[in-house]
Amino acid sequence: MHKPRSAALVGAERAAAELPTIPAHVMPHRSAHELLALARRGLIEAAETRSDGQRYATAHLAALRAAAAVLVSRARPAPARRGRPTNVWALLATVAPELAQWADRFAAGAAKRSAAEAGILRVVSKVEADDLRADAERFVAVVELSLGLPHQPLITTRAS
């Protein structure tokens, strides 16, 4: 005997089917709330970090976690296909086109983040690190608001 599905269940399935897909292997394994909490903690850590390279890398990672929160909220996993973008920033621009400029901004800094994480000295200046931290903070706020979540500005102290 076939049990009828409720209209709400059918509607939810239809809505899920309309979400953009991203390769399952890049789908974050945390909730959007967890990722945004980690992003906010990263922003606080970046604000308290003296090293320009570490501040840059930590702020970039915070932005990356916020981008992942968007992917978790607005995409569904699908089998990987060849030729599809698997870079989080490229996926973000696909899943949330209104955030494409942010994706471009942070994608452009990915190589510097890697170099800073590797301990290469003077890869970023104080101004670059401070600018990226400020941009990451604005980006997290934009993501929170775009996901319908409350945003409270961070209270941070800047390391000297």
Least confident segment among 5-9, 10-14, 128-132, 134-138: 10-14
Can you give the pLDDT at residue 76? 83
Can you give the pLDDT at residue 84? 59
In the chain, where are the structural domains located?
22-146
d(CA 107, CA 59): 13
Can you give the pLDDT at residue 17? 55
Q: Rounded to two decimals, what is the model's pTM?
A: 0.81
Tell me the per-residue pLDDT of 119-160, one tens digit each, with 9 for 90 and over: 998 999 999 999 999 999 999 999 999 999 998 888 765 554
Scanning the structure block, which residue is given the tokens 């990987």?
80
Task: Kindly indicate the confidence band of residue 63, based on its pLDDT and cuts at 50, 70 and 90.
Answer: very high
d(CA 55, CA 160): 12
22-146, what's its fold? Four Helix Bundle (Hemerythrin (Met), subunit A) (1.20.120)
The better pLDDT of the pair 78, 80 is held by 78
Task: Kindly indicate the confidence band of residue 12, based on its pLDDT and cuts at 50, 70 and 90.
Answer: very low
Q: Is residue 54 predicted with pLDDT exceeding 80?
A: yes
Can you give the pLDDT at residue 10? 40
Can you give the pLDDT at residue 4? 59
Q: Is residue 86 predicted with pLDDT exceeding 90?
A: no
